[in-house]
Structure 1
Amino acid sequence: MIDIFIAEDDRDLQRLYELLLDMSGFHVVGFASNGDEAIEMFKKFQEKPDIIILDYRMPIKNGIDALKAILEIDGSTRVIFASADRTIKEIVYLNGAMGFLDKPFTHKKLVSTLKNILDIPKPIHM
C-alpha cells in the first residue's frame, strides 16, 4: 500500500482527501494543519511516507518553507503541491516539488498525479 502524508489546514479537505485516497487504495498516514506541524511530524515518521501532499497557504509556515525543510531531512521525498494559486507552480518545482495539483481538482486528477509521481525515480536533493 502507498503511504501518503498530507499537510492541509482545511479540515473538510482533509476528510475529502482521506475518503478519495482510501477509495483508490492509498493509505493516509497522517495530517498536518500547518507547515511547522508537517515538518515535526515528518521527522517522527520511522517509515517515511511514499508521497507528501502540501498545501501552499497554511498558517505558521507555508508549504514552500515546509518543502525546503522536509527535503533537508530527506532529499529523496516525493512532494506534490495542491493549490489554487497557480502563480507558485514554477517556484515549487524549482524548490524540489515533483507535482502540482490545481485546486479544485477531481478524484481522477488526484489519483493520476499520484500514480505519475510514483513512476518517477525518487529524487536526490542535496
Structure 2
Amino acid sequence: MVSIFIVEDDLSLQRLYGMMLTTFGFEVVDKASNGKEAIEKFKSFSPKPDIILLDHRMPVKNGIDTTIELIKFNSHTKIIFTSADNSIKGRALEIGAISFIEKPFSVIQLQTEINRVFNLV
C-alpha cells in the first residue's frame, strides 16, 4: 500500500485530501500544517512515507524550502508539489519534486497523478 504524508496549511483541504486518499486505498500516515512541522515529523517516520503531498504557500516555511530540506533526509520519498501559483512549477521540479499539480485540482487529477508516479495505472 502506498503511504502518503499530507503537508497543507488549510485544515479543510487537509481533511478532504485525507478522506479522498483513504477512499482510493492509499495510507495517510500523518498530516502537517507547515514546513517546519513537516520536517520534524518526517525525521521521526520509520519507514519514510512513499509520497509527500506538499503545498507551497504555508506559514513558517514554504514548500520550496521544505522540499530542499526533506530531500536532504531522504531522496527516495517522492514529493508531489501543489500550488495555485504555477510560476513556481519549474523551481519545484528543479529542486526535486517529482510532480506538480496546480490548484485547484480534482479528486481524479490527484488519484491519476499518484498512480502515474507509482506506475499503478
Give the TM-score of the pair, scaled to structure 1. Answer: 0.92
1:117 aligns with 2:108: no
Q: Which residue of structure 2 aligns with residue 15 of structure 1?
A: 15
The root-mean-square deviation of aligned C-alpha atoms, in Å, is: 0.7
Equivalent position SS for 2:96: coil
Q: Which residue of structure 2 aligns with residue 55 of structure 1?
A: 55
Kindly provide the amino acid, as one letter, of the partner of residue 43 in structure 1.
K
Structure 1 unaligned segments of length 5 or more: list them: 120-126
Aligned partners of 2:101, 2:81: CA distance in 1, in Å?
6
- Following superposition, the deviation at residue 118 of structure 1 comes to 1.1
| Match runs of 1:57-96 below 5 Å | 57-96=57-96
Aligned partners of 1:73, 1:112: CA distance in 2, in Å?
27
Aligned 8 A contact 2:6 2:18 in 1? no
Identity %: 49
Equivalent position SS for 1:49: coil
Corresponding pairs, count? 119
- Following superposition, the deviation at residue 75 of structure 1 comes to 1.2
- Following superposition, the deviation at residue 2 of structure 1 comes to 1.0
Structure 2 unaligned segments of length 5 or more: list them: none
